[in-house]
Amino acid sequence: MTRSHFSRRGVLKTGAIAGAGLMLPTYLRAQESGFTNAPTGDTVTFGFNVPQTGPYAEEGLDELRAQELAVQHINGEGDGGMLSTFSSKVLDGTGLLGKKVTFVSGDTQTKADVARATAQSMIQKDGCIMITGGSSSSEAIAVQGLCQEAGVIFMAGLTHSNDTTGKDRKRNGFRHFFNAYQSAVALTPVLEKVYGTDRRAYHLTADYTWGWTQQESMAASTEAVGWETVQNVLTPVGAGDFSSYIAPVLNSGADILVLNHYGGDMVNSLTQAVQFGLKGKQVNGKDFQIVVPLYSELMAKGAGSNIEGVYGSMNWNWQLQDAATLAFVKSFGEKYGFPPSNAAHTCYVQTMLYADAVTRAGSFNPCAVVEALEDFEFDGMGNGATLYRASDHQCFKDVLVMQGIASASGNANMVGYDTLSIVETTPRAQVEYADDHPMFAGGTLGECAVGA
């Protein structure tokens, strides 16, 4: 079988030549500009990395709409949206540092692995200078780590886990969205006022980083006002059927059900809890109640009338009446025909904040951008006065406590948008915490990375 026509000398020679050929590029390497994907032409590329399929796809698609809108406004197309209300006035609608902004989008399929792959392709192939996105916290944390390694900026979209700016915080990553701890702190005083201090809570929790931190935060803040946590049950993400988890709640002696679920999971678990008759039940002489710590318009839409009376929290809502919100809702509504969700809002704002930071820094260099964003105080983005804290890259701003209500307009297309009403705006001072708070401890930002 074996026939050889190659002499040892021949193989060595060929090997040496091939080796030399492979080494050559080292000497031909062009001097790059000092950081990853420094824009060279007359355009600069953003990467919008969101789930377009999978359980969080609805949120992802809405994020993408807002990001496209933000790019238009930065390039001076459309009505400019929040540019007119933003407290920093350096963006003039002529692109970024004289370059037109373009973008590429990728489908993360709501999977961390795929999100890393699409982000890598954005960085290595499309030359993106900034990545934004994430609808699931595990996705956002995975991509944030990648951006840190690669030396590009990550502007987190929808990610609510404490870990994103807690134990997984990164110097190159920034989060505008609020977090699980802030939700719990804002929500608890309202719950205390409405439901009293003598309550027994049963938690159903999505089994991943966000669910864990959300449950931990809710348990800690409600226990502080006297509630008792009866039990915490972890449920797999995307379980679909939660009846086997909800049935035990009936006999547990609990009188509050806290659903630490999001997206399609929350729609299913809430609907099933209502079908099991939890809402009308009397336990311990009190009305049984359900709480959903994190609300979104798209979830409310899916859950329909089941959310009536249920409390939750939000980062922002289109029904706010400040000038910035009005401008954004008008601009989004004119383009797409319905109001923006709070996921859309945070992505729009993040894109704008990045553009503003680049302009103020006068450079696309990630370290300059990091410096411009750290401890940046701004207003006019729909959340009131806001601070990007330098020590953990978390934004601090007011938090909204929401309650589900019957649709005011009766318009089927507005379900989810007008079935949530703002109960209270929790001021920023109340949701602030130390950057070494136990729920956020264990992380270090590290140094800003420029890659290359």
Partner 1 sequence: MLGLTRKDFTLFAIVVVLALLAPVLLNPFPVNSALGQTFNAGYPALMQRFAIFGILVVGFNILFGLTGYLSFGHAAFLGVGSYAAVWMFKLLSFNIVPAIILSVVVAGLFSVVIGFVSLRRSGIYFSILTLAFAQMSYALAYSVLTPLTNGETGLQVYPSDPQYLAAAGAPSGPHFFGLPMAQATTLRLGDWAFTFQVGYYLCAIMLIAAFYLSIRIFRSPFGMMLRAIKSNQTRMNYTGLNAKPYMLRAFIISGMYAGLAGGLLAAMDPLTGAERMFWTASGEIVVMAILGGVGTLIGPVLGSGVIKYLENIVSKINESVLHNALAFLPDGIENFFVTVIHPFVGEGWHLTLGLLFMVIVIFLPGGLVEGGQRLAGLFGRRSTATTAADRDAARQSPAE
- For residues 234 and 210, the answer to whether their CB atoms sit within 8 Å is no
Angle made by CA atoms 283, 284, 285, in degrees to the nearest 5: 85
CB of 167 vs partner 1, minimal distance in Å: 7
CB of 409 vs partner 1, minimal distance in Å: 32
The smaller minimum CB distance to partner 1, of residues 18 and 224, is found at 18
The smaller minimum CB distance to partner 1, of residues 87 and 444, is found at 444
CA distances from 235 to 122, 262, 317, 373 (A): 33, 12, 28, 37
To the nearest 5 percent, what fractions of the chain are helix, strand and coil? Answer: 40, 20, 40
DSSP string, 70-110: HHHHHTT-TT-GGGGT-S-----SS-BTTBEEEEEEEE-TT
4: left (phi > 0), else alpha (psi -120 to 50), else beta? beta
Q: What stretch of H or E contains 43?
A: strand 43-50
The smaller minimum CB distance to partner 1, of residues 46 and 86, is found at 46
The smaller minimum CB distance to partner 1, of residues 213 and 403, is found at 213
The smaller minimum CB distance to partner 1, of residues 3 and 251, is found at 3
Q: Which residues bind partner 1 (CB under 8 A)?
A: 1-6, 18, 22, 24-26, 28-30, 32, 41, 52-53, 104-107, 111-113, 116-118, 120-121, 124-126, 137-138, 141-142, 145-146, 149, 163, 167-168, 207-209, 234, 236-237, 442, 444, 446
Q: What is the dihedral of CA 423, 427, 431, 434, to 10 degrees?
A: 180
CB of 1 vs partner 1, minimal distance in Å: 6
CB of 412 vs partner 1, minimal distance in Å: 26
Identify the CA nearest to 315 among candidates 281, 278, 341: 341
CB of 410 vs partner 1, minimal distance in Å: 34
The smaller minimum CB distance to partner 1, of residues 152 and 361, is found at 152
The smaller minimum CB distance to partner 1, of residues 12 and 90, is found at 12
CB of 138 vs partner 1, minimal distance in Å: 4
Angle made by CA atoms 135, 171, 391, in degrees to the nearest 5: 100
CB of 287 vs partner 1, minimal distance in Å: 33
Cβ burial of 26 (10 Å; 0-12, 13-18, 19+) is exposed
The smaller minimum CB distance to partner 1, of residues 41 and 280, is found at 41
Buried b (16+ CB within 10 A) or exposed e, 143-168: bbbbbbebbbbbbbbbbbbbbbbbbb
CB of 304 vs partner 1, minimal distance in Å: 27
CB of 380 vs partner 1, minimal distance in Å: 30
The smaller minimum CB distance to partner 1, of residues 101 and 142, is found at 142
| Sequence letter at residue 365 | N
Rounded-to-integer distance, Cα 6 and Cα 446, Å:
53
Rounded-to-integer distance, Cα 312 and Cα 300, Å:
11
CB of 107 vs partner 1, minimal distance in Å: 6
**Strands annotated E in 116-243:** 130-133, 153-156, 173-175, 200-206, 228-235
Structural tokens at position 65: 């709409």
The smaller minimum CB distance to partner 1, of residues 112 and 368, is found at 112
Token pair 């609907």: residue = 271
